[in-house]
Structure 1
Amino acid sequence: MCGFVALALLLSACVSTVLDVDGKATQPIPATLLGDMSRKSMTPSEPILVRIFKQESELEIWKRDRSGKFALLKTYPMCRWSGKLGPKKENGDRQAPEGFYHVSAGMLNPNSQYYLSFNLGYPNKLEAALGYTGEALMVHGACSSSGCYALTDEGVGEIYAVAREALKGGQGSFQVQAFPFRMTPKNMAKNRNDPNFAFWSDLKQGYDIFEVTRRQPKVSYCEGRYVFDKEFEGAGPRDVLAACPPVLNAADPLVAARTQSDRLVAEGLLSAGSTLSAHAYADGGMHPSFRKLLERSGRSALAKRTSLTSVPISRPDAAMADPHSPNE
């Protein structure tokens, strides 16, 4: 029975382990990245925050600087993510998660088959309450995904080292914000007819808080959705699916102004009759830099560049075809 469970986990997720452990998980932060931190008034022990954007195939590392706010440290191109735009709902759907997650030291995996990885913690409290299923959804190396976010081994090695040092410095967990796209007025207008639009509008509240304040939003849940920066009346945790209770704090006026401004811009684009076409996906995406490498040099060259273990690229034909017109 245990063997069957282990095999099922291996086949349904983006993580497995190896017996031989080398020093990759203890490698120091590269000197060039340390130099970037110093120039930006950051230290290795200061807290971090991660943002992921599917449509752009990019992962950002933010770090708290001397001002006490988060500033962008580095943006990494993602080699592969799978599924379509939208949240993960069930095991085996190949969807990479969208939402807000918190990663602690115990969720770092030094023995990943995909070089190094960290677990996003899917399903989070909201997703579990909604009945969503799946496990071991990761950010890892290589260029293969069945519900994970895959970077190069070099990229995930840097991210792992930065995360490790921040957690050692006293950060209990770091927040990961995973979005379908950069939540600009244009992208919101493009996707206005998507079934996930209400969910994405909720995510945008957290996105706007961080964009305006450069601080980590406080994440809560009620009525089966995300709620940000709210202090609920009464003691004890709230039922994720219960009605939202009265709140003690009002919305930040600067954040509210940003949200309203973006909404008006999106409405203006639509009323002006602008040609806006949402992206569609057969199975995920790949950053343009890797698409170009694949076009020029073929699969073997890309595999050598992105994976020390030569993990095959997942569904390369779909990666090259996506994104495509929803009418195709």
Structure 2
Amino acid sequence: MIRSGSNYTKTLFQVILFFMMTSSVNAQLTFKQQQLTFPRVRAAYDDSWSSLQSQLKTAKFDGPFQLYLAAYKTEGVLEVWAKKLKDKEYRLFKTYKFCQHSGTLGPKVQEGDYQTPEGIYYINVFNPMSNFHLSLGVNYPNSVDKKRSGTKRPGGDIYIHGNCVTVGCIPLTDEKIKEVYVLAVEAQNSGQSRIPVHIFPFKMNKANLDKFAVQFPQQKTFWAGLQPAYQLFEQHKTVPQSSEKEGKYSFK
């Protein structure tokens, strides 16, 4: 019994030591190196990074860069904007079509409504083992969303992902998410801890806002409050500073 207990203690010590050593190694890895420990991320780099590097160089984005993602529900596109670290203004790098749509215009209100959110978000999850190949999660619900939902459960788990199915997310297909995921890893690895993701109902120029406000009058006030984010970026090509207070956005 004494020998058995001694063996158990020794084994337990070895297991604890192993995990401590593993954690220590992971802590020393860069974000990109951590991501490359996952097979799908390695495959995504093998399949797309060489081509992306060439495109980035041609567009003069070679070297460390930052990203801004803008999604437009009516147009069904995800725009990927980039800028070098030393630059102030973003420039459009690539545009990806949604593979599928869910819900209608207007923000997500509650769990199970199949709506794609509308609002100001950032990437807060890199999922290299997604059920939809690879996925980038956004921080829905934020305080504006929670205020809108009231006592209803606002839902969650909103991702830009692979495959071609959705109940409120933004699917791009497996091939396209490889590129977006790799670009996001590179930006995060360069120090961009919060990659902004703005999800708009449509290109929010005056003509579109006037047109869709007639069709969706209940969304007019919310859309009017969201529109400055679109306008300020279009004007300056910089991501406006945003704040959330009492269920509303403000920008400067």
- Normalised to the residue count of structure 2, the TM-score between the two structures is 0.78
Q: Aligned partner of 1:36: which letter?
A: Q
Alignment of 1:72-83 (within 5 A): 72-83=92-103
What is the aligned partner in structure 2 of residue 46 from structure 1?
65
Q: Give the Å deviation of 1:68.
A: 2.5
For residues 57-108 of structure 1, what are the alpha-carbon distances to aligned partners after superposition, in whole Å with 9 as ceiling and x for unaligned?
A: 100111113633111110001101200000000000000111010113xx01
Per-residue CA distance 1:213-257 (angstroms, 9 max, x = gap): 11111110224211012xxxxxxxxxxxxxxxxxxxxxxxxxxxx
2:189 — aligned with what? 168
Task: Kindly state the Cα deviation for residue 22 of structure 1 after the two structures are TM-superposed.
Answer: 5.5
Distance in 1 (CA, whole Å) between partners of 2:61 and 2:115 is 34
Work out whether residues 58 and 76 of structure 1, in 8 Å CA contact, stay in contact via their aligned partners in 2. yes
Describe the superposition over 1:268-289 as per-residue Cα deviations: whole angstroms up to 9, x where unpaired.
xxxxxxxxxxxxxxxxxxxxxx
Letter paired with 1:30: W
Contact 1:49-1:62 within 8 A present in 2 as well? yes
Partner amino acid for 1:170? G
Structure 1 ranges of 4+ moved more than 4 A = none
1:1-328 matches, cutoff 5 A: 23-26=39-42, 27-28=44-45, 29-43=48-62, 45-65=64-84, 67-104=87-124, 107-130=125-148, 131=150, 133-193=154-214, 194=216, 195-229=218-252
Q: CA RMSD in A?
A: 1.6
Unaligned runs of 5+ in 2: 1-36
The corresponding residue for 2:13 is: none
Q: Quick one: which amino acid aligns to residue 41 of structure 1?
A: K
Question: Between Structure 1 and Structure 2, which shows a larger proportion of strand residues?
Answer: 2
Amino acid at match of 1:114: F
Aligned length: 207
Partner of 1:177, secondary structure, is: strand
Contact conserved, 1:46 with 1:64, CA < 8 A, in 2?
yes
- Kindly indicate which of the two structures has a greater share of residues assigned to helix: 2
CA deviations 1:85-143 (Å, max 9, x no partner) are: 00000000000111010113xx0101111110011111012212333610111111111
Paired-residue identity, %:
33
Alpha-carbon distance, 1:187 to partner: 1.2
Cα pair distance change 1:135/1:223, threshold 3 Å: closer
Would you say the 8 A contact 2:40–2:129 is kept in 1?
A: no
Normalising to structure 1: TM-score of the pair?
0.60
Where 2:91 maps in the other structure, the secondary structure is strand
Determine the C-alpha separation between the residues in 2 that align with 1:153 and 1:44: 26
Distance 1:91 1:30, change over 3 A: same
CA distance in 2, matches of 1:44, 1:142: 30
Q: Highest CA radius of gyration, 1 or 2?
A: 2
Separation of aligned partners in 1, 2:230 and 2:182: 25
